[in-house]
Structure 1
Amino acid sequence: MVLRTARLVLDLPVEGDVVRVAEYCTDPLFEQFLTTPWPYTETHARGFLTEHVPSAWQTGSELTWAIRTESGGPLLGVISLRADGREVGFWLGAEHRGSAYTAEALAAVCEWAFAELPRTETVTWRANAGNVASAMVARAGGFRNTTTAATTVPGRDGTDLEGWSAERGRIPAANALESWAPLLGGAA
């Protein structure tokens, strides 16, 4: 399932992406904000790309796309949609951040989900509390902040951590942008 935007090609992450995935996933931000194994190795990347991604596509439990600027081009990051709760997750390699690639990929995945997945009325997003960059992508993607004091995300060790959450309907809510003020203030 290939998705295309004005600047991106979203396609299947493949074994040839192992080195890039391993490199990107050693970023200290991943330790702080993601549930990827830590420290992250090429063995983890190979398992993700050759076992988890194909198996999850086959069962439909999680659909993961590589973010690239051209078909067959270098991996910039990944974005996935989990079937349960229609929840999105994403990351981008450090040198590609600030490009708005993730927001563009997020819009494409949401549009695809609303058009192609039956009974999809909302797409959700969650992140560790404090993950401002991820929240800014969700905000740019038209998501409305739904964080409450009870919002949690799973930690690497299986415990619940304080989290942030948001959702987006087929048409972004009129108050979506303003809803982020409690978390992001006036962050650009």
Structure 2
Amino acid sequence: MLPVEIRTPRLLLDLPVPGDAEVVTRYCQDPLFEQYLTTPWPYERAHAESFLSTYVPGGWASRTDLTWALRTERGGVLLGVISVRETQNEIGFWMGSEHRGGGLMSEAAAAVCTWVLEGGVDGATTVFWRAVEGNTASAKVARSAGFRRIQPENPTVPTRDGAGTLPAWYGVREVDVDPRAEASWNDILEARA
């Protein structure tokens, strides 16, 4: 599959490229990434180079992991990354620290969900989200993008090394946003406001 561009009112979602390695390296050294993400730690330039030159194009070619860069314009600085793993249509994302708090990731997540559910991924009827328990920033993005919080039987995510699991929060998004979606987050987001 060829990479697809998605436009939103404030963003261009396009292909992360090897020229983004420096900024990806800097963003992924954020201590929050160690706590909440499964990116390598400590994160080094070689990780970014491999991600951008091998993983991202390979994911598009195989349709297994569709990854976009968030930018404000063509050729602009990478602000963050969002992806969909097609095996379960699971969305994942991260944002550079200086770009957080303005709703850009929520805008990107909603647009990616719309693209997936309106035919971008053949047969997709849902998009899933999960994050390590306590990652309220990610949960706020999921809520804003129309995900409904769900509680599966075993709500965990694998640890960075794959040897164990961590408690996790889950959400699901369908073509039509469930009217119960916003309220489903109250017990975890209102308590941490």
Alpha-carbon distance, 1:142 to partner: 0.5
**Match in the other structure for 2:14:** 11
**Match in the other structure for 1:171:** 176
Within 5 A, what are the aligned runs for 1:147-186? 147-148=151-152, 150-158=154-162, 159-185=164-190
1:15 partner letter: P
Alignment partner of 1:135: what SS? helix
Within 5 A, what are the aligned runs for 1:43-122? 43-115=46-118, 116-122=120-126
Question: Cα RMSD over matched residues?
Answer: 1.1
Q: TM-score, normalised by structure 2?
A: 0.95
Task: Provide the C-alpha distance between the structure 2 equivalents of 1:149 and 1:58, rounded to a whole number of angstroms.
Answer: 33
Moved over 4 A (4+): none
Q: Does 1:36 align with 2:39?
A: yes
> Number of residues paired by the alignment?
188
Taking every aligned residue pair, what percent have the same amino acid on both sides?
Answer: 51
Q: Is the 8 A contact 1:147 1:163 kept in 2?
A: no
Q: 2:134 aligns with which of 107, 130, 134?
A: 130
Task: Provide the C-alpha distance between the structure 1 equivalents of 2:110 and 2:151, rounded to a whole number of angstroms.
Answer: 21
Task: Provide the C-alpha distance between the structure 2 equivalents of 1:153 and 1:94, rounded to a whole number of angstroms.
Answer: 23
1:94 partner letter: S
Q: Is the 8 A contact 1:144 1:166 kept in 2?
A: yes
Deviation track 1:71-119 (CA, whole Å, cap 9, x = no partner) reads 1100000000000110000000000000100000001101110122221
2:176 partner letter: I
Q: Is the 8 A contact 1:15 1:46 kept in 2?
A: yes
Q: Is the 8 A contact 1:62 1:82 kept in 2?
A: yes
5+ residue gaps, structure 1, are: none
5+ residue gaps, structure 2, are: none
